[in-house]
Amino acid sequence: MSSFNIYMCGVGGQGIGMLSEVLSRACLEAGHNIMGCDTHGLAQRGGIVVSHLRLGDGVRTPRVPDGSADLVIALERLEALRAADAMLAKSGTVIYYDTIYQPIHVRMGKTSYPEADALEETVKTRGGKVERVQLADIDDPRMQNVALLGRLASTGVIEGVSARVVEQALRDALPAKALAANLAVFEQAAEKTAP
Amino acid sequence: MAKLKDMLVKRESWSDLIMGNYAVARAMIDTGTRVITTFPGSPTPEIAAALDSVDRDKRDYYFEYSTNEKVALEIAAGASLNGHLSTVFFKSVGLNVASDSLIQLALMELVGGMVIILGDDPGANSSQNEQDNRWFARMSYIPMLEPANPQEAYDMYREAVRLSKERRIPIFLRLTTHVCHAREVVKFNGIETGAPDWTPRFDAAAGPYVPIVSTVFPLKRKALAKLADFEELGNECKLNFVVAPNGSKPIDGKRLGVISSALVAMSVLENLEESKASVDLLKLGMTYPLPRKMITDFLADRDEVMVLEELDQVLENEIKVAAWDAGADCKILSRKDREDFMGELGPRRTMKILSDVWPSIFDAPAEIVPSKEISVRLPQMCPGCGHRSAFHAIRKALEDDVITVADIGCHSLGFMPPYNMGEVLFSMGHGVSTASGLSIGNDTRKVLTFIGDSTLIHAGLPGIVNAANHDHNITLVLMDNGTTAMTGHQPRFGSGEVGDKIPFVPLLEALGVKFIRETDTYQQATLTQHIRDANAHKGFALVIARHPCMLKFTRKQRKDMPDLKMPNVRVDQEKCERIYECVAEFGCPSFQKNEDGSVTVSEELCIGDGSCLQTCPVQALWRPKPGGDK
Ligand SMILES: Cc1ncc(C[n+]2csc(CCOP(=O)(O)OP(=O)(O)O)c2C)c(N)n1
Ligand code: SF4
Ligand code: SF4
């Protein structure tokens, strides 16, 4: 069964719903058969939220099995590490926004918050790649998801999902008044990768 | 992009990428379901959100949030008695609440047809258990359909409607979390019905509808006959079918098969396709009553068949009985490990189970053990949540040996660190009565319990009348945030969103509560004092701890006043003595503890409500005046 599995994760309130909606639409537009599912459930902020997206004709279940994510897109560093550890497939790619949301255990001093290196290490042991995204002058943290989309689009890891396709999906999804600011972030994040 | 609320009522057929819950909402509309009721609970609240989003003048249906699941079920049943096609939906445990009336329904001629949608939650993703409601179908004689994905959920709802109307019997549509929330491209039919005909067609002669000694047996006889007919139908029904993805050939001289249903069947199908093993799958869409003939035929053609179901051993028991009765010469294989009776069975887990029974055909997937080094992240109450202020204040009034009883809602999270309050939890509204029981004969340890305002209306009142009038010696804290927060801010009766406002104090006084104190939870010192007074009171004492749900409040504020920016709280680094009361005791997620030991406030998270200011013992927290610098 050939499939391409994408696992998205972050912290409640970071806008993972929009990320997954735009990416799903872009994958559909690129001609993939898709199935996915989002976390719904508790209203509160601050818990882990995930979204699964699976591409391929043989896909019949919506969740990415453990250890099978070809691509992890994370909105936060600790969650990127958690996903790289349990979800990432061999030679998979992790694209993450390097921001920090401390869980209560860290704030209470019971556990520690990981360094970016810990993530690099974990991904390296799987033979994978990491793309770290962080834009200095992003005014609204709710646009971090768009920065990830920008970077993702420019890497071309998902077959057929070009920058143009993602940008169009973004245009379709966003309200007109938020579009210009988001597109600027999208483009800025894309440019940053060019080697 | 077209809005969901418009697509839901589009007359023509269409197709789109959509989640299971929305697909089911469309099915209700395009089949002409007229009365739809619910009580919110995951995994089904998005069905309600979809139905409730449609403009009122475009609705050909009546939709309501009812006070609880039993009320919701009775309303849908009553509407069906009047000849209107109806549906009720709720989460798994909601069926426990509704069961008193549910159990009667199959005995009745539901002339309009009625579908009961269950949102079961294998894996307990957002529930207090993972109860297997397939048992309820057996106990209530109600047929059950189980879709595996959004398209099937849509198609099976339509089939349930057809069968229910034709046979005047309620039908269960059992969804599970990852069918409700799965997304795929679904093809929808057009809307087939015209304007609703609201003529009340209730006719007692179509019954009997009153089960008393002389009618119970005729009614039951009829229900059993309908079930038997259903079984016949199941043998022919296209919802039950065999797939042989790799062709039906014997492996080492043995013909092998799997019987499964719903999403687990899809996991198995992925496994079969991946392994290229010529094992066939009988996928059951109608799982009660079981199509015995179809099943025994499947067994007769095979040497070994594995029954691979999720949660309890329901299908397997019945399949084995059927096999015994038919004298089938086929080995029926079971799940072996007790762990396999728990949680969701995704493709990795079904592969493991298949490899346990047929190790030469299926390879067990490599085990993945998540690292223990990575910090856990527990869900938390939102920044500014009034429940947090309440827990922080209440903790100060408690003796060490207090017994605290939790209830259902966002405030259940109080049981986690740093608050550690709420040590027992059964079900919605249990708290008052469980606490009352803990207080009996107990003169030494105070018992304190909580209840949310929505839960008060759902199931709390009988326990309160009981506690107040027997004067049980407990303190009840009513956590009143004006909404049904945890499930997504559905309206709460008495908040003014549905009907009139219900003033709680006179209501509860009239019910016999004599000791009542109330305060906004941000008034932490007052709340602490109220709890002290309540705990000192001998007998039933109620403290109302009120503050609007800040997630709902800030969302509305952002919508109504997009330019308003509340200044964040800051930490005065000169004054801060690193006591960490704000970070570790009060625990608003906005506080970040930095490597160097300093504390800062996250601009992304802080909503600027200021409820934390009072918690700092050395007044190091401050907040600039809105619009000014300081
Ligand atoms: C019988 C039953 N029905 C529904 C639910 C789903 N549920 C979980 S929390 C909750 C809301 C409780 O609201 P409230 O009591 O006002 O507390 P809040 O979340 O607002 O703090 C509901 C309905 C449930 N757990 N049990
Ligand atoms: S949703 Fe409302 S009640 Fe629930 S934790 Fe958030 S602010 Fe508190
Ligand atoms: S003002 Fe900010 S830091 Fe203080 S409780 Fe509210 S959200 Fe938390």
Instruction: Compute the mean pLDDT over every residue in chain A, rounded to the nearest whole number.
Output: 92
Please tell me the distance in Å from A195's CA to the nearest CA on chain B. Answer: 31
Please tell me the distance in Å from B47's CA to the nearest CA on chain A. Answer: 12
Indicate the angle between helix axes B150-167 and B213-236, nearest 10 degrees. Answer: 130
DSSP 8-state secondary structure symbol assigned to residue B495: B
Could you confirm whether domain A4-137 is CATH 3.40.920.10?
yes
Interface with chain B: mutation pick from A23, A87, A104, A168, highest number of B CBs within 10 Å: A104
Closest to A105 in 3D by CA, of B53, B501, B417:
B417
Give pLDDT, residue B352. 98
Give pLDDT, residue A193. 54
Mean pLDDT of B143-156: 98
Residue ranges lining ligand 2, Cβ < 6 Å:
A 43-44; B 381-382, 385, 387, 410, 481, 485, 549-551
Please answer whether residues B55 and B192 qualify as being in contact, where contact means their C-beta atoms are separated by less than 8 angstroms.
no
Chain A, 73 to 112: residues with Cβ < 8 Å from chain B are 78-79, 81-82, 85-86, 99-109, 111-112
A176 touches chain B (CB under 8 A): no
Closest ligand 1 atom to residue B549 Cα is 20
Chain Cα centroid distance, residue A124: 19
pLDDT tens per residue across span B439-463: 999 999 999 999 999 999 999 999 9
Give pLDDT, residue B117. 99
Q: CATH homologous superfamily for B4-236? A: Thiamin diphosphate (ThDP)-binding fold, Pyr/PP domains (3.40.50.970)
A174 touches chain B (CB under 8 A): no
Please tell me the distance in Å from B154's CA to the nearest CA on chain A. Answer: 16
Closest ligand 1 atom to residue A43 Cα is 19
**What's the CATH number for B565-622?**
3.30.70.20
Per-domain residue ranges of chain A: 4-137
Chain Cα centroid distance, residue B511: 30
Interface with chain B: mutation pick from A37, A78, A117, A179, highest number of B CBs within 10 Å: A37
Looking at the DSSP bridge assignments, the partners of residue B175 are B119
* Confidence grade of residue A46 (pLDDT, cut at 50, 70, 90): confident
Residue B189 has pLDDT above 90, yes or no: yes
Distance CA B109, CA B105 (A): 8
Distance CA A1, CA A11 (A): 32
Give pLDDT, residue A142. 84
Ligand 3 binding pocket includes B611 (Cβ within 6 Å) = yes
Give pLDDT, residue B616. 98
Beta carbons of B587 and A37 less than 8 Å apart: no
Chain Cα centroid distance, residue B3: 26
pTM > 0.95 = yes
Contacts with B184 from chain A: Cβ below 8 Å: 34-36, 62
Residue B428 has pLDDT above 60, yes or no: yes
Mean pLDDT of B352-374: 96
Closest alpha carbon within chain B to A12? B379
Nearest to A107 among B148, B274, B584 (CB): B584
Phi, psi of A169 (to 5 degrees): -60, -35
Residue B314 has pLDDT above 50, yes or no: yes
Helix (H) and strand (E) counts in chain A: 7, 6
pLDDT tens per residue across span B386-401: 999 999 999 999 999 9
Give pLDDT, residue A141. 82
Please answer whether residues A106 and A113 qualify as being in contact, where contact means their C-beta atoms are separated by less than 8 angstroms.
yes
Top-level class of domain B241-357: alpha beta
How do beta strands A48-55 and A4-11 pair?
Answer: antiparallel
Closest ligand 1 atom to residue B97 Cα is 1
Mean pLDDT of A21-30: 97
Please tell me the distance in Å from A100's CA to the nearest CA on chain B. Answer: 9
Mean pLDDT of B3-18: 97
Amino acid (1-letter code) at residue B221:
R
Phi, psi of B67 (to 5 degrees): -70, -30
Interface with chain B: mutation pick from A23, A57, A107, A115, highest number of B CBs within 10 Å: A107
Phi, psi of A32 (to 5 degrees): -80, 145
Ligand 1 binding pocket includes B408 (Cβ within 6 Å) = yes
Residue B626 has pLDDT above 80, yes or no: no
Residue B198 has pLDDT above 80, yes or no: yes
b (16+ CB within 10 A) / e for B392-419: bbbbebbeeebbbbbbbbbbbbbbbebb
E strands within A57-183? 69-74, 88-97, 129-133
Closest alpha carbon within chain B to A178? B562
**Non-local CB neighbours of B485 within 8 Å, separated by 6+ positions:** A43, B409, B410, B452, B454, B549, B551, B552
Top-level class of domain B386-554: alpha beta
A1 touches chain B (CB under 8 A): yes
pLDDT tens per residue across span B534-553: 999 999 999 999 999 999 99
Please answer whether residues B590 and A100 qualify as being in contact, where contact means their C-beta atoms are separated by less than 8 angstroms.
no
E strands within chain A? 4-11, 34-38, 48-55, 69-74, 88-97, 129-133
Mean pLDDT of B206-213: 92
Mean pLDDT of A118-143: 91
Give pLDDT, residue B628. 55
Closest ligand 2 atom to residue B387 Cα is 8
Closest alpha carbon within chain B to A60? B266
Ligand 1 binding pocket includes B91 (Cβ within 6 Å) = yes
Per-domain residue ranges of chain B: 4-236, 241-357, 386-554, 565-622
Beta carbons of B592 and A47 less than 8 Å apart: no
Residue A195 has pLDDT above 50, yes or no: no
Beta carbons of B348 and A44 less than 8 Å apart: no
Amino acid (1-letter code) at residue B435:
A
- B455 CA distance to ligand 2 middle (Å): 15
Domains B4-236 and B241-357 share a fold: yes
* Confidence grade of residue B630 (pLDDT, cut at 50, 70, 90): very low
Amino acid (1-letter code) at residue B543:
V
How do beta strands A88-97 and B144-145 pair?
Answer: unpaired
Closest to A88 in 3D by CA, of A112, A119, A67, A109:
A67
Interface with chain A: mutation pick from B374, B479, B559, highest number of A CBs within 10 Å: B374
Q: So what's the ipTM on this one?
A: 0.96
HSE-CB of B295 using CA atoms within 13 angstroms: 34
DSSP 3-state of B284 = strand
Please tell me the distance in Å from B451's CA to the nearest CA on chain A. Answer: 18
Ligand 1 binding pocket includes B482 (Cβ within 6 Å) = no
Residue A108 has pLDDT above 90, yes or no: no
Residue B136 has pLDDT above 70, yes or no: yes
Amino acid (1-letter code) at residue A117:
D
Please give the helix or strand (H or E) that residue A191 lies within, else none: helix A176-191
DSSP 3-state of B27 = helix
